[in-house]
Amino acid sequence: MLRTRERNRQLDLEWSATIQACALAFYGDNTKPVRVTKNKLLNASIFQSKSRVWPKEPEFPLTAAVSKANEESLWHFYARRMLWTLQCLHDPQTPVHKIIILSGLEVYKAKAVMGYFSDFVRGGGGSIEAIKSIMKARGIGKDWQGPCPEREFYKTGRAYRLRTARRGPIGGRAGDAQPGA
């Protein structure tokens, strides 16, 4: 029991250092930003083997804390991706819908983020250091709640609910039978 605890403590130190290094690599990469999640950090850590389970807080407190501290909110990711897309534009007069397509983000949230960065100068090449300095100057941390946290956005994907009665009851799924039909 004591040897297991000592081994877990040593593994916790090594694993947390590996996850921290992976997080620095994700946030410092000059290519198209990807969302940094806990699973992505744990899977990218070289230390993690196929037989190892995800770190539980009691057994690996440092690893759990480091992975939680380095994961980003959805809005933080949207801001990084939108700034990167705006920097990589060859034509500063690119229309908004084309920018949203190039960014690969959800339309309504991407428009909200673009509105927040409306004063940002487009073009100039994708530089992660410039993105970091802009986000730091605007006070955007990894837990940023977005430009309009009170606004309710339509759900996408499987969480989508109908807004009109054209294909089923409002608030239901498409194709659901109309009551009384």
- pTM for the whole thing? 0.79
Domain boundary pick from 50, 70, 90: 70
Residue type, 166: R
pLDDT tens profile 75-100: 999 999 999 999 988 888 889 999 99
Burial 137-159 (b: 16+ CB within 10 A, else e): eeebebebebbeeeeeeeeeeee
Its domain, for residue 49, covers 2-70
Domains: count for the chain? 2
Q: What is the maximum alpha-carbon separation in the chain?
A: 68
Residues 19 and 63 in one domain: yes
For residue 20 the two structure tokens come to 């921290």
Please tell me the least confidently modeled range out of 8-12, 78-82, 109-113. 8-12
Judge contact between 114 and 75, C-beta under 8 A. Answer: no
